[in-house]
Chain A
Amino acid sequence: KNQVEQSPQSLIILEGKNCTLQCNYTVSPFSNLRWYKQDTGRGPVSLTIMTFSENTKSNGRYTATLDADTKQSSLHITASQLSDSASYICVVSASNAGNMLTFGGGTRLMVKP
């Protein structure tokens, strides 16, 4: 069964600090992995998308890494801001899945001043 597990479930950090969120998946055959940011009461917004051949992709202060061998991804947030407070969702698609995406449960990040 395709699954995506994220850790930690929640995280509190001080403004200006860095943090790393983890995503482990068992989706096969792997096609691509996306990180979404979801503000409270809003829909998810895409941050990055990575394929099998990509190890790192950045979007401003967000850097995603992918290790397709160990089936792990991480999202690193640098110099956190209050506006980074949100849920971060890892989404993996299989190449034989048609339109089906496998969503993780998300990591809820709170940045405090």
Chain B
Amino acid sequence: DTGVSQDPRHKITKRGQNVTFRCDPISEHNRLYWYRQTLGQGPEFLTYFQNEAQLEKSRLLSDRFSAERPKGSFSTLEIQRTEQGDSAMYLCASSRGPGTALNSPLHFGNGTRLTVT
């Protein structure tokens, strides 16, 4: 078990470009979450998968954002036509059961820091 892995760790892009991030959860975890975190703030929920099904999406997830988890294992988060306001840390987390349950806490990756210039 190597924990939740995210790639890349850092991404610098110009406004208007598309970017894609990858998350590899802990292998036996069927739930996968994406969060966004700006400096000095707590993580904000973006979306959640149970296996390959995307079950919840935040209002923060505009139509420029799309997330997939095609085989119920790794997930990708794509941002199209990036804006400067998209600059943030994008965190992925996984859990064995519901993330709110006592026996299935969220395990976070170390995030992808996006800078849009």
- Residue of B43, B48, B93, B100 contacting most chain A CB atoms (<10 Å): B100
With contact pairs A99-B31, A100-B45, A103-B42 given, residues A43 and B110 touching in the complex (Cβ less than 8 Å): yes
With contact pairs A31-B100, A32-B100 given, residues A46 and B105 touching in the complex (Cβ less than 8 Å): yes
With contact pairs A94-B100, A99-B33 given, residues A44 and B105 touching in the complex (Cβ less than 8 Å): no
Inter-chain contacts of A91 with B (CB < 8 A): 42
- Residue of A32, A93, A100 contacting most chain B CB atoms (<10 Å): A100
Kindly supply a per-residue 1/0 record for chain A positions 96-112, scoring 1 wherever the CB is within 8 Å of any chain B CB and 0 otherwise. 01111101111010000
Asked if A41 lies at the interface with its beta carbon under 8 angstroms from chain B, I say yes
Size category, B interface: 20 to 34
Inter-chain contacts of B100 with A (CB < 8 A): 31-32, 93-95, 97-101
- 13 further contact pairs, Cβ within 8 A, besides A41-B113, A98-B100, A101-B45: A9-B40, A43-B93, A43-B109, A45-B108, A89-B42, A89-B43, A93-B99, A98-B56, A100-B100, A103-B44, A105-B40, A106-B40, A106-B41
Can you pick out 25 interface pairs between chain A and chain B where the beta carbons lie within 8 Å of each other?
A4-B42, A9-B40, A31-B100, A32-B100, A32-B102, A41-B111, A41-B113, A43-B91, A43-B93, A43-B110, A44-B108, A46-B105, A49-B105, A51-B102, A89-B43, A93-B99, A95-B100, A98-B98, A99-B99, A100-B56, A100-B100, A101-B45, A101-B99, A103-B44, A106-B42
